[in-house]
Amino acid sequence: MLSNFKIPEKSDSKEAAKEIKVLQKKLAVLQQKVKDLNIPVIIIVDGWSASGKGRAISSITSQMEPRSYKVFATKLPEGDDARKPWLSRFWRDTPARGSVAIYDRGWYLDALSYVVDDDINNSFTDSICRFERQLADDGYIICKFFLHIGQEEQFKRMDELEKSSATSWRVNDRDWEQNRRYSTWFNAKNELLNLTSNDYAPWDIIWNEEKNCGILKMLKLLCKKLQKAVDGEKPDTYLMRFPPDVNLLKMPKLSEVDLEHAVKNEEYDERLKSEKKKLQELHSLLYREKLPIVAAFEGWDASGKGGAIRRLSWSLDPRGFAVSSIAGPTADELAHHYLWRFWNKLPKNGHISVFDRSWYGRVMVERIEGYTPEERWSQAFDEINEFEKELTDWGAIVLKFWIQVDKQTQLDRFMARQEDPEKRYKITDEDWRNRAKWELYEEAVDEMIAKTSTELAPWIIVEGNDKKFARLRVIKEFRKAIEKRLGIR
């Protein structure tokens, strides 16, 4: 992109200043429309040091309504952020539908910091491409501007900044280093831009050496893009997809699972005790090795998810794990991409996050109850594989349990709950309604397991007709996964 960029001819800066004012008012009107239409907008402003990013952002927000935009000045991750997947802080800050988020560099700051002295790391740029595509598929409008200036101009500007005590703090060694090795940086930036310019989130290069002219160009492009969004001009589907390289495993259908496993009471007590002890020791190792675990529990109503999670938690140090119960999304969650709330509940490294129901609701309840149109839930299989790829790339162990029971066992448990005054609250009309749709769910689950059981994040189908057997198996699978990763045994 940079390497074949043609520097535009000089134009009238005074004339440009006037036009800018008109466009800023237009932008404020478009912002209101975008809000009314519930369209979420992401604007990235990247560029060379001293290329005028701050001024460019101010020129965008100049006449905007401050209550529905937010600007993020990106820094490299610190504290807990540095202990999470690198994209997680950017996911957290994605705007709600109808609002605008403007990033001073955003995820390109992290990306570039890896690419200057090393070769570009493709998994990095693939992550970005998928992240942006997931948002675009969800209706996000993504505008990306790169402010371009030459080496001489950059030197001049930084020199001037440094001369005044009021601005000298804005230039640091890294900026000067960039100027000295301009051509190295040029190549790195060029490659980064090439690898991340897609139909759903193309880069625009803005020549920003001349006063006002660059800003004018940027505002023109921005207005055009937002106008298009407001007019509903959007392709049916984006063509560039970047599916991750995942190996799907051959999995059995639910109907093929043998549910006859059981464990005797005495054996259960003994084995639970010994598994518990082993897991406790491994949890401490996990913490020291800074290894994160993300575990999802799915299964039929009354299949025993809660009981299994409880036994698991009693084998762990409570300071190092947390359970998130996933119910219907809140208004705030609905206003974001459906994966947003799961990104926000990820563990720090060394910790364990357990999800009692999970991101798989998208292809089960949301699919069957029609909460989500087919065109969106059918994309979720890829989105989920991509999400879990981010987690395993980060270094997490991803465990996904489907607790399987047969229809008769569920009925027995429903009846038993209804007869027990202490447990009656656990059984609701909704449980019966879901049960009536057993066949639809079974079909959906079979498809889900077939399409999302990958080598790095396989489904574990737990035989759940015998509760004790299931609980033991869950704890054992945790132990085995940790041992495997740590190379024990």
At which residue do the structure tokens 């501007």 appear?
A: 145
Residue among 16, 102, 293, 482 that touches a second copy (CB under 8 A) = 102
Task: Map residue 370 onto helix, strand or coil.
Answer: coil
Residues 149-168 that bind a second copy (CB under 8 A): 166
How many C-beta atoms lie closer than 10 Å to residue 43's C-beta?
25
Question: Any contact of residue 327 with a second copy (CB under 8 A)?
Answer: no
Name which position in 310, 407, 433, 484 contacts a second copy (CB under 8 A). 310
Q: Least separation, in Å, of the C-beta of 25 and a second copy? A: 12
Tell me which of 104, 209, 382, 386 binds a second copy, using CB under 8 A: 104
> For residue 128, which of 247, 240, 205, 3 has the smallest C-alpha distance?
240
Nearer to a second copy, 36 or 199 (CB): 36
Closest by alpha carbon to 72, among 97, 107, 31? 107
User: Does position 278 bind a second copy by CB under 8 A?
Assistant: no
Of 331, 408, 436, 489, which one interacts with a second copy (CB under 8 A)?
Answer: 331
Among 17, 19, 26, 62, binds a second copy (CB under 8 A): 62
Distances (CA, A) of 160 to 48, 182, 212, 313, 373: 16, 18, 19, 60, 56
Which residues are within 8 A (CB) of 181 and not within 5 positions of it... i.e. 6 or more apart?
none
Tokens at residue 61, please?
């927000």
Please report whether residue 428 would count as binding a second copy according to CB under 8 A: no
Q: Give the three-state DSSP class for 129.
A: helix
What is the SS3 assignment for 198-264? ECCECEEEEECCCCCHHHHHHHHHHHHHHHHHHCCCCCCCCCCCCCCCCCECCCCCHHHCCCCCCCC
- Nearest approach in angstroms of CB 187 to a second copy is 29
Alpha carbon 367 to its chain centroid, in Å, reads: 21
Helix (H, G, I), strand (E, B) or coil at 285: helix
Nearest approach, Cβ of residue 206 and a second copy (Å): 18
**Candidate list 245, 288, 419, 487; residue touching a second copy; CB under 8 A:** 288
Written as one letter, the residue type at 69 is Y
Closer of 200 and 321 to a second copy (Cβ): 321
| Residue 32 to residue 226: CA distance in whole angstroms | 11
Cα separation, 140 vs 147, whole angstroms: 22
Angle between helices 213-230 and 53-61 (to 10 degrees): 50
Least distance to a second copy from the beta carbon of 223, Å? 18
Q: How far is the CB of 141 from a second copy (least distance, A)?
A: 19
* Lookup: tokens for 337: 């991409």
Number of residues counted as binding a second copy (CB under 8 A): 46
Q: Which is nearer to a second copy, 84 or 148 (CB)?
A: 84
Q: Residues 110-149: x/- map of binding to a second copy (CB under 8 A)?
A: ----------------------------------------
Q: Among 330, 429, 439, 489, indicate the residue that binds a second copy (CB under 8 A).
A: 330
Applying the rule CB under 8 A, the residues between 339 and 368 that interact with a second copy are 354, 356
Question: Least separation, in Å, of the C-beta of 70 and a second copy?
Answer: 6
Candidate residues 14, 67, 250, 489; the one interacting with a second copy per rule CB under 8 A: 67
408: amino acid identity, one letter: Q
Scored b (16 or more CB within 10 A) or e, 194-228 reads ebbbbebbebebbbbbbebbbbbbbbeebbebbee
Binding to a second copy by residue 98, rule CB under 8 A?
A: no
| C-beta of 122 vs 330, nearer to a second copy | 330
Is residue 319 at the binding interface for a second copy, with CB under 8 A as the rule? Answer: yes
Give the DSSP H/E element, type plus range, for residue 218: helix 213-230
Judged by beta carbon, residue 170 or residue 435, the one nearer a second copy is 170
Residue 329 binding a second copy, by CB under 8 A = no
> What minimum distance in Å lies between the beta carbon of 60 and a second copy?
8
Residue 65 found at the interface with a second copy (CB under 8 A)? yes
Comparing C-alpha atoms, which of 36, 54, 227 is closest to residue 143?
227
Q: Which stretch binds a second copy (CB under 8 A): 126-134, 322-330, 400-408, 467-475?
A: 322-330
Report the alpha-carbon distance of residue 252 to residue 285 in Å, rounded.
34
Q: Which range of residues in 180-188, 221-229, 312-320, 390-398 is near a second copy by CB under 8 A?
A: 312-320
Rg (C-alpha) for the chain, rounded Å, is 26
Largest CA distance in the chain: 88
Distance CA 229, CA 226 (A): 5
Name the one range near a second copy by CB under 8 A: 51-59, 134-142, 335-343, 408-416: 51-59
Binding residue for a second copy, selected from 17, 26, 33, 63, defined by CB under 8 A: 63
- Among positions 116, 323, 335, 460, the unique one binding a second copy when judged by CB under 8 A: 323
Closest CA to 226 of 41, 19, 20: 41
Report the C-alpha gap between 62 and 53 in whole angstroms: 14
- The CA-CA-CA angle for residues 367, 371, 372, to 5°, reads 65
Does position 87 interact with a second copy (CB under 8 A)? The reply is no
Where on the chain is the footprint of a second copy (CB under 8 A)?
A: 54, 57-58, 60-63, 65-67, 69-73, 77-82, 102, 104, 166, 169, 281, 284, 288, 306, 309-310, 313-314, 317-323, 325, 330-332, 354, 356
